[in-house]
Amino acid sequence: KAGVTQTPRYLIKTRGQQVTLSCSPISGHRSVSWYQQTPGQGLQFLFEYFSETQRNKGNFPGRFSGRQFSNSRSEMNVSTLELGDSALYLCASSHPGTANTGELFFGEGSRLTVL
Amino acid sequence: SQQGEEDPQALSIQEGENATMNCSYKTSINNLQWYRQNSGRGLVHLILIRSNEREKHSGRLRVTLDTSKKSSSLLITASRAADTASYFCACNQAGTALIFGKGTTLSVSS
């Protein structure tokens, strides 16, 4: 079974631009969560989607948004990029039966650099 | 916040030694999990312990949970160089997202 796939793996943007990151969960998983990882703040929860509905949301500004499609694939978007948005963005999926309580399966992440 | 906090932040040991990492959290939890991350990669789930469990084993891993002290520990026995990684605890309450601590960086030298 294929794992969680995130694209692109690496990208470089400039301040003010916007970026869209994509995540394909493990087949059969309907829950997708997004995390931002930086050396200073560690892993911070962005949002979680289940069956196309945002179920939980972290404490990030409105520039950060996401969505989930009917095939459970998810995208997150960051608009008006700031230098501080440089980070590793991690997507994780979980099996329906373990949503909110069980194991998360992570992708390799998308490393965003903002210049 | 129910975020877990790991201790120590960094740990250096020799191969064959045991490594112990601790995690403290602030509120009641549904379960507590431990994850491992190799440098710059995604996280890998190691073990989950539920709030009504006190100890769990998986291979060379042993996890304990003390809900009265709001703490957990991860013990890796007979460490190997391949165990070099960052280790994170994560916890949540029912219906909420999994929140991670800042991790312990383990370095195992041969």
Chain A residues lying within 8 Å of B47, measured CB to CB: none
- Over 60: is that where the pLDDT of B23 sits? yes
pLDDT at B95 over 90: no
Whole-number mean pLDDT of chain B?
Answer: 93
Beta bridge partners of B37: B43, B86
The predicted structure's pLDDT at residue B27: 86
Dihedrals phi, psi of B25, to nearest 5 degrees = -135, 170
Contact (CB<8Å) A104/B44: no
CA dihedral A47, A53, A56, A58 (to 10 degrees): 30
- B12 has a pLDDT exceeding 50: yes
The Cα B35–Cα B42 span in angstroms is 10
Q: Identify the DSSP state of B82.
A: G
Q: Which residues of A touch B30 (CB under 8 A)?
A: 100-101
* Pick from A114, A112, A113, A99: nearest CA to A6: A112
Identity at B68, one-letter amino acid code: S
Task: Lowest mean pLDDT of A92-101, B21-30, B95-104, name the range.
Answer: A92-101
State the average pLDDT over residues B59-64: 98
CA distance B51 to B110: 36
In this predicted structure, the answer to whether residue B6 has a pLDDT above a threshold of 80 is: yes
What are the structure tokens assigned to A47, written together? Answer: 């949002």
**Interface of chain A toward chain B, CB-CB under 8 angstroms:** 4, 33, 35, 42-43, 45, 48, 56, 58, 88, 90, 92, 100-109, 111
> Which of chain B's residues have a Cβ under 8 Å away from the Cβ of A104?
33, 35, 43, 45, 98
From start to end of A39-84, where are the E strands? 42-50, 53-57, 64-68, 74-78
Cα distance between the two ends of chain A: 37
- The percentage of chain B sitting over the pLDDT mark of 90, rounded to a whole number, equals 77
Could you say which residues of chain A have pLDDT below 70? 1, 96-101
Is B65's pLDDT higher than 50? yes
Q: Residue A95: its pLDDT value, please? A: 82
Amino acid code (one letter) for A23: C
In this structure, what DSSP letter does residue B80 have? -
> What pLDDT is attached to residue B97?
86
